Chains A and B, each alone.
Chain A
Amino acid sequence: MRQLARQLARQLAALLATALVWAAAPAQSADDWAQTLEKARGQSVYWNAWGGDERINAYIAWVGERVAAEHGITLRHVKLADTADAVSRVLAEKVAGRLDDGSVDLIWINGENFATMKEQGLLFGPFAESLPNFRLVDVVNKPTTLVDFTVPVEGLEAPWGMAKINFIYDSARLPEPPRSTAALLDWAKANPGRFTYPAPPDFIGSTFLKQVVHDLAEDPSVLQSAVPDDATFETLTEPLWRFLDALSPHLWRKGQVHPANAPAQRQLLDDGEVDISISFYPSEASSFIANGLLPESARTFVFDGGTIGNTHFVAIPFNAAHKEAAMVVANFLMSAEAQAKKQDPRVWGDDTVLDLAKLEPAERALFDRLPLGVATLPPDKLGATLPEPHPTWMTRIEAEWRKRYSR
């Protein structure tokens, strides 16, 4: 109860902060936006986005077709193996004194990468809240659209999609999946070699660690602010390492090898090398089935105590060469059309950031028409959404994990 109250207080604080930002930032008038659209026409947007999933790549290609048709913008998807690549590229440009005409126009980003760019002054903006479609975003029930891993967004990135940890399993092979961190350990001990998680710093792998830390910590609310000191870090993460030490010998390949990312683990699940895969998108499993990437018997489950969720965004670097077109693309990504298409399990299955109540009936119908998908849990079965820890926790946990398990 105390925890809930604290969470509520935090959300209120975030809301207040946003309201302040909103009040401070002059709302962009229709004229300004018309000017932006005018300037954007004919520009190319180099969108640096993780390219490890061809379904997402196909969706981005569709966005490219739409913004070309609608706004005369050429969208180029620069496929990244890791979002940090783009962060370091923008940095390299700052190093070389290239303060305009940068090579990155738009980045798919959240969490620690966002925190780094914000801290280093590598971002353009605030811009997000002046985009016309931002008013459709559900900032009340989806507070993570304003606070990214506890770091206030402050209009420096535009919300794009909602992620929430869920686990995919093959119901034909695994009738009763484990529904808590503790149950997972027991199950893994009984079924050696049938579970694994992507190697951090892959974002799914890191989020799995954060999930465990959260579940095992005595007081998880400590995670909501920066790591105060080494002693606190050690006390709070001690149960995580104990858990992993117990789990590792029973992992796939005895924990000596980890899949590189979640799609790689999805492949392991399809091949029957493991029984459980981890996903960030509740409808993704259905999408995998629709695309012939998982068997029809694939289903999803979540932990009874809830799972970590967050929002992913797009941001514009400070030196982007085509800021106007980048903003137009960011705005289009928040449109009902783009959001509904993204949520379609046949396409990607990434949940919307929008408040459906704010949409026109015709727009809302786009979402109503979406199939839930055979493996997707309905909203009431999806469980509580746990907040992301402060990025400093993730960085430290990743470093500590490396020290312990990557040697």
Chain B
Amino acid sequence: MAQALQPLDDAPGGSAGRSIELLQGAPALTLLLFLGPVAAGLLGTWLPAVGHFPALGLSGPSLAPWQALIADPALPGALKLTLTSGLLGTLGAILLVIAFVAAFHGSLWLARLRRLMLPLLAVPHAAAAIGFAFLLAPSGWLIRLISPWASGWTRPPDVALIQDPAGLALAAALVVKETPFLLLVTLAALEQSNAGERLAVARSLGYRPVAAWLKTVLPAIYGQIRLPLYAVLAFSLSVVDMALVLAPGTPPTLAVLVLQWFNDPDLSMRLVAAAGASLQLGIVVLAILLWRLLEILVGLLGRRWIAGGRRGDLLEPATRALAGTVMAASMLLAAGALVGMALWSLAGRWRFPDALPSLWTQANWLREADGLLASGGVTLLLGLASTVIALVLVLACLENECRRGLQPLNRSLWLLYAPLLVPQVAFLFGVQVLAVKLRIDGGWIALIWTHLLFVLPYVFLAMAYPYRALDKRYERAALCLGASPNRVFFRVKLPMLMRPIMIAAAIGFAVSVAQYLPTLFAGSGRFVTLTTEAVSLSAGADRRIVACYAFAQALLPLLCFALALAVPAWLYRDRRSLRGAT
């Protein structure tokens, strides 16, 4: 990324032309646009955390906010909940992905699953959490399906199946929601390693498939999935919207607690909130370090295990059965969540323990039509704007890298991942203060900009490999025929890359749709998206209405993915190799 983002150190030659100069500005502009707010936001959060808050007449430094934070009765419980749900969620997701890919490498199931992953990736976190709650709550659909004929329950059981004090429901939802991302990343890493050859060699030495994969492929690709994995870890430890729906409230997770402090009518609590936000960053950093230690430990043990030369006969059936079952259950849950939301949105009356609504109606959709259209419109505009900007910047950076002949380095990916590794609550408050200072808060600019912070990395990740992998000979041939670099870009590269571009755009759009906290902070609450609406309603409002918003929220990115697949297929209906196979 830094290679792609690296501005030129030597001045452009006179023959380079304006467009080249513009292109050379792209990396610097991109860096500024997207690391600037993160840095400023962190600073704007750290200052109040050490007691510097001129608005309340406070100019630190002071340790008081930290003392208040540590003395807070809810903190120990919140930390425990945060760590359990975040670590279990991440660990569960990555173990599931590794076990599944190891067990089903090269099988038809993996290919089928891969096609399912994109739409699942597109379902926003909030919608997934709400659907999950509809399904798993003691009064949820699953219990309704077995009550009272099988369970004997005429009233929902008094068991905390969601919002459980240990945070297991949140952890489970995180596993379901993060598995698609990690699986896609793993599959992409596989494509760039010689997994086939490695497996063939290992198999010829008598290793069973799972052991062969774990011993020869995993060590080779883990480096590539490490950063995305850290991003998942950071996200799981600091997620707000899913925690609001699925985690208990007394105490809530640290991120939710921080949000509550930010919104406390007692304004001095803002300092404690800032300290809490900084602590949240510390927790994430610590968790990543811990994970790294764990990696080293597993690496050491793993090396002995690999060198031990066991062929893994015992490992085989258990892994296949377990990974297959858990993956299937996780997919079923995701699908059930979507169907459950659709049913609730069409329910007139659906009391426990009826398996299906006793009264069907389209009135919910009609009654909320105005609100759905308005918030859907904002969601759409926001997603399109941030995606288009991200796409332009990413393509400019990649084209610059390509024309300068720079070699991409893996290490530089850290820069790209910065907004994904820093917890949102840790810098969004500072971003808000910055936006208010610049007088752009509560406006489209601040909102689109904030969304861009999260959209850009994903668009870059999705675009980088296909762009760099494009056969250079096409470009050279076009240049030889006298086309200018720009003409080559627009007439050769863009059309050839249409499919990955559309997919990257769809991913970017889905990321934008899913943003809850950034929309809340940068939009000053004035911008109502399907996401903010679904989350704020999910606290207790009419399930039928919550279902409408959550379903619409899930539907929008799904439609976008469908479009992303359909457009190139239609454009290139008579050009088979441009349509793309998967």
Contact = CB atoms under 8 A, between A and B. Distances in A.
Interface string A124-145: 0000000000000000000000
A103 B263 CA distance: 16
Contacts of A93: 436
B354 to A, nearest CB: 11
A83 B359 CA distance: 35
Interface in B368-413: 368, 370-371
A257 B541 contact: no
Contacts of A88: 262-265, 267, 270
Interface in A105-136: 112-113, 116, 120
A61 B73 CA distance: 40
A232 interface: no
A53 B541 contact: yes
B251 A406 contact: yes
Contact of A253 (B53, B160, B533, B539): B160
Give the 7 A-B CB pairs with smallest separation, nearest first: A95-B55, A264-B540, A263-B540, A96-B436, A271-B139, A406-B250, A403-B73
A232 to B, nearest CB: 21
23 contacts: A61-B371, A79-B536, A80-B525, A84-B263, A84-B265, A89-B524, A89-B525, A91-B55, A91-B267, A91-B270, A94-B55, A95-B56, A96-B436, A120-B267, A258-B250, A261-B539, A265-B540, A266-B540, A271-B156, A273-B156, A402-B74, A406-B73, A407-B74
A235 interface: no
A103 B270 CA distance: 20
B155 A272 contact: yes
A88 B265 CA distance: 7
Interface stretch (A44-52, A155-163, A207-215): A44-52
Nearest to B54: A95
Contacts of A199: 249-250
Interface in A380-407: 395, 402-407
B254 to A, nearest CB: 13
A295 interface: yes
A407 B76 contact: yes
Contact of B349 (A52, A58, A271, A292): A292
Contacts of A264: 539-540
A267 B263 CA distance: 26
Contacts of B540: 52, 259-267
Q: For chain A, give the interface size range.
A: 35 or more
A272 B525 contact: no
A272 B536 contact: no
A253 B545 contact: no
Interface of A: 46, 48, 51-54, 57-58, 61, 76, 78-82, 84-89, 91-96, 98, 103, 112-113, 116, 120, 193, 199, 252-253, 256-268, 270-273, 291-293, 295, 395, 402-407
A96 B435 CA distance: 9
Contact of B265 (A113, A266, A404): A113
Interface stretch (B14-22, B107-115, B288-296, B437-445): B437-445
A79 B533 contact: yes
B250 A257 contact: yes
Nearest to A288: B542
A292 B73 CA distance: 40
Interface string B20-58: 000000000000000000000000000000000111100
B85 interface: no
B230 interface: no
